Amino acid sequence: MVPAWRLRAAFARRLSTMYGTEVPAYTTLVEVAGKVNDDVLRKGGESAQRLGSIERVTAERHGAIRVGTPRELRQAAQVFAALGMEPVGFYDLRDAAASAVPVVSTAFRPVLPEELDRNPFRVFTSMLTPADRRFFDADLRERLEAFLARRELFPPQLLELAALAEREGGLDEERAERFLGLAVGAFELSPEPVDRAWYSELEKVSAVAADIGGVGSTHINHLTPRVLDIDDLYRRMEDRGITMIDRIQGPPRWDGPDVLLRQTSFRALAEPRTFREPDGTVSTGALRVRFGEVEARGIALTRKGRELYDRLVEGPVEEWAAAFPRTERRLAVEGVGFFTYEAVRERPRDGRRPPGDLAGLLDGGWLSARPIVYEDFLPRSAAGIFQSNLTDPGARDSAQAGAHYDQHGLSEAIERPVHDPFDLYAAQQDVSLGRARQILAPTEESDA
Ligand code: OOG
Ligand code: NI
């Protein structure tokens, strides 16, 4: 039996191989990321692995895909469920980007700490919003929905094997092989000619809408390796003559702890595609929709920490440096960052009782804290990544009311619960703290 986590790790590896043949610049990015990580490890020693072992970081990827309908999203969720990946978080990118990005998104990822340790592969998954009148008028919406209803992104056998894998917690070798082949195939770029007129019509509204609804299949949009020093990577890519977007998204570079997520990308490359012209002839051309992204991950922030982040990230770096907690200890005791806690020593025989507060427990050496790594995404950064790869802002009629989407609605569309990322981190922290307190101060009964 090949368990879900092995399927997930194998899927991530094969997707990476496939994407490397489709987008050779991705391979360059992975190589450069590897060199940067080697250097950080050499200079930093153990502290370089504080936010994850080098094995985990080296294998770590996130992918991005885009689908058109709730049904397609449900099917994608079934494929990811087979890999032990569940929907986490709701991202509404329609207002986060200045350009027309008519999608709402979630991320599929493992949710249990031990599963994340085995392989943290995640996929940022966006769904088109044809009901949003700001982007699509009634006529275009109808034709778009009819087009989407006709296509099949995932072959029935893939979905059957995925459902079986989810029920059984894995697949036998033979079925696993079949499943992985079909799953990777579903995300390959299709050689089918693109209908030029239809694609162009959608492109006038939004390049993202055209990428999703202008073709008969889906494809991986980017696959992102994790790097330990993203500023160094940015410089090295530019030194190689690769044009990067103009900034690194997310928190500024500073000498305090890494938090949340910092991302950057190189610009979308022109990829050869075939087109069916209005007169029926087939021609070759190019589309610029896929790019290369890289990211550095830091400590997960609490709601309070996130509010602080959202406020400070807008301002100058000096303000950030003055106001954001500069040490892990402060992140912990001020309730800004998430940690797991472990009891350092047993309850002493002299009857001294451990202090009740976190600061006392940490400062007295009763507890050690380990940061919880941020496993999710940031709406503003995601919008920035989408946006920086659009050459045309598209069109939006702001006089129209937008269609309402939220986490609950998304959950109903997927027919699976969408986890709240803050709840997941908080639960992990609370479990560890409860266990540590139990060791430090057992009840009188368990003393006897
Ligand atoms: C997704 C863009 C967002 C990220 O890492 O924030 C994203 C897309 O382009 O489909 O991948
Ligand atoms: Ni991404």
**136 pocket-lining for ligand 1 (C-beta < 6 Å):** no
Q: Of the given ranges (79-93, 267-281, 318-332), which has the lowest mean pLDDT?
A: 267-281
Ligand 1 atom 5: residue of nearest CA: 382
| Ligand 1, atom nearest to 378 Cα | 6
Q: Do 179 and 237 have their domain in common?
A: yes
Closest CA relative to residue 60, chosen from 301, 261, 249, 305: 261
Instruction: Mark whether 323 and 287 lie in a shared domain.
Output: no
Same domain for 166 and 310, yes or no, is no
Token pair of 305, please?
């920490």
Q: What is the CA radius of gyration of the chain?
A: 23
| Rounded Cα–Cα distance for residues 393 and 373 (Å) | 34
Partnered with residue 369 across adjacent β-strands are: 341
At which residue do the structure tokens 């912990």 appear?
332
**Does 361 lie in the same domain as 290?**
no
Q: Do 336 and 259 fall within a single domain? A: no
Task: Please tell me whether residues 281 and 152 are part of one structural domain.
Answer: yes
Half-sphere exposure of 431 (CA within 13 A, CB side): 9
Q: Which amino acid is at 183?
A: A
Cα separation, 281 vs 409, whole angstroms? 42
pLDDT over threshold 90, residue 8: yes
Do residues 272 and 347 both lie within one domain?
A: no
Q: Domain check: are 20 and 138 in the same one?
A: yes
Residue 422 lies in a domain: no
268 with 317, same domain: the answer is no
Name the closest-CA residue to atom 10, ligand 1.
64
Q: What value does the mean pLDDT take over residues 112-127?
A: 96
Q: Write the burial class of residue 199 (CB in 10 Å: 0-12 exposed, 13-18 middle, 19+ buried).
A: buried
264 lines ligand 1 (CB under 6 A): no
Closest CA relative to residue 424, chosen from 113, 171, 175, 200 = 113
Relative to the alpha carbon of 126, which ligand is closest?
Answer: 1
What is the domain extent for residue 242?
2-299+374-414
CATH at residue 383: 3.10.180.80
438 and 410 in a common domain: no
Residue 241 has pLDDT above 60, yes or no: yes
Q: Per the domain annotation, does 423 fall within a domain?
A: no
Residue 313, SS3? coil
Please report whether residue 186 resides in a domain: yes
50 shares its domain with 175: yes
Question: Does 92 fall in a domain?
Answer: yes
CA-based nearest residue to 64, from 292, 268, 405: 292
C-beta 369 within 6 A of ligand 1: no
Q: Which amino acid is at 228?
A: L
Residues 110 and 215 placed together within one structural domain of the fold: yes
66 within some domain: yes
- Determine which helix (DSSP H) or strand (DSSP E) holds 445, and give its type and residue range: helix 444-447
Percentage of the chain lying above the pLDDT 90 cut:
80
Q: Which tens digits make up the pLDDT trace of 373-411? A: 999 999 988 988 887 777 788 888 888 888 899 999 999
Q: What is the DSSP string of 131-180?
A: T-TTT--HHHHHHHHHHHHH--SS-HHHHHHHHHHHHHTEE-HHHHHHHH
Count CB-CB contacts under 10 A for residue 441: 14
pLDDT (average), residues 112-134? 96
pLDDT at 447: 45
Q: Tell me, what's the pLDDT at 443? A: 57
**CA 255 to centroid of chain Cα atoms:** 25
Instruction: Quickly state the pLDDT bin for 290 (edges 50, 70, 90).
Output: confident
- Residue 426 inside a domain? The answer is no
* Beta carbons of 391 and 203 less than 8 angstroms apart: no
In a domain, 199, yes or no: yes
User: What's the confidence (pLDDT) of residue 390?
Assistant: 79
Among protein residues, the one with the nearest Cα to ligand 1's atom 3 is 382
Most confident of 53-57, 64-68, 271-275, 402-406: 64-68
Question: How many other CB atoms sit within 10 Å of the CB of residue 138?
Answer: 7
Position 420 in a domain? no
Q: Count the domains in the chain.
A: 2
Atom of ligand 1 nearest to the CA of 291: 9
Helix (H) or strand (E) holding 105: strand 103-109
